[in-house]
Structures are given as structure tokens and as C-alpha cells.
Amino acid sequence: MTASRSSAAARLGSVLAGVVRVALGAFWIHEGFVKYRAGFGVSDIALVVSGAADNPRVPAYFSWFARSIVHPWDGVFAIATPAVETVLGIALILGILTLPSAVAGIGLLLTYWLADQLIAQYPIMAALAVVVILVPSAAARYSAPRLCRSLRRMRRGRDSRPVGRRDRSCGHRLHWSRGRHPRLRTVLPRDQGGPRTR
């Protein structure tokens, strides 16, 4: 009874962690979709850079980063920001690289916080990411990679059913004699009327 209860509790924990992972992925896909729909581009990156330079709440090192790294490569960051958000969302929903995706999401949220670009859902996303980071195995238990591995194991199990030692290329069954070499015996169907062994 105790073992069954602990197993049920573990399954419930995995389900809840999986729900948290999928919710976090949905948030990231929403972020990327909103940016794509709004036409996020170079002008938005320029706004972030100028805001980081003039905002006293932005740390000096991030202002230097925005001015020296982000601004010269504003076209790259304009494309990469919504793309990375969307990829993170897809990876988390499918359970692909769950822990690295959650850590990358925390890093991306940290850059938004340093740039003083926080919005209402970012703290919620950070809390969900922390849960996934704390229990990565449980969060990834019900995921696309696990499903693929289970299907492969089931397929291998069907292919390796105990049918004796059979040479599948010719349909012969090998039986070892007392000597070193096996003797080959062909199992003939009963309806052919011939001898069963040859």
C-alpha cells in the first residue's frame, strides 16, 4: 500500500511538473508571437538601448553591453529575440532539453530585468522556470523524447520476441549439434506433405 501511494504521488508530481513546463512554454510562445505580430524590429532594439543609457535603474555594465554589443548588432538582435522566445516555448512544450531551456529562459528574463523591461507576466515565468529547474526529471517525464523512447522500446520488444534462434534471411532454424558446427534444419509447413525436417 505504501509503495503504491508513493508511486501515485510520484506520478502526480510528474504530471504537475509537466503542466508547469508546458505553461512556461506557452508563455514563451506567446511572447514570441506578440513580438512577431507587432513587427518587433530594429527600432524596438534602439528603444531598449536608449532606455538603458538614460535609465538610472539600469546597471552601468548593462548600459555598456547595450551600447557596445546590442546597438552595433541591432538587426541580429531584432531577429533573434522573438525567434529565441519561440524556440524556447516549443522546446519546453515538447520537453526537449527541458533543463537547458528553462535555464536559458531565466537568462533571457534576467536581461529583460536588467534593461528595466519587465512586464506583469515575467515574474510568473521566472517562478515557473525555477520549478522546472528544481525538478527537471519530473518535468520531463511526460515529454516527446520520452514518448519516442517508449515507442522504440516497444518496437524492439516486438522484434525480439522469443522465437528461437532463427536466420531471418532464409527462414531456417539453427540447432547446435554436439560438434562445433550447427546443423541446419528447415521447418516445413504441415500442409506440404513432405518430411518435416531436412
Return the pLDDT at 156: 81
Q: Please, which residues have CB within 8 angstroms of residue 111's CB and are 6 or more apart in sequence?
A: 62
Instruction: Tell me if 180 is assigned to some domain.
Output: no
Return the pLDDT at 162: 55
Instruction: Tell me if 181 is assigned to some domain.
Output: no
Return the pLDDT at 190: 55
Return the pLDDT at 60: 87
Q: Please, which residues have CB within 8 angstroms of residue 131's CB and are 6 or more apart in sequence?
A: 17, 20, 139
Residue 174 Cα distances to 107, 164, 169, 170, 178, angstroms:
60, 8, 12, 11, 13
Instruction: Tell me if 188 is assigned to some domain.
Output: no
Instruction: Tell me if 124 is assigned to some domain.
Output: yes
Instruction: Tell me if 158 is assigned to some domain.
Output: no
Task: Give CA–CA dist 60/66, Å, rounded.
Answer: 10
Instruction: Tell me if 163 is assigned to some domain.
Output: no
Instruction: Tell me if 85 is assigned to some domain.
Output: yes
Q: Is 24:132 a contact under the CB 8 Å cutoff?
A: yes
Residues of the chain with pLDDT under 70: 1-3, 159-198
Total structural domains within the chain: 1
Residue 38: domain span? 9-144
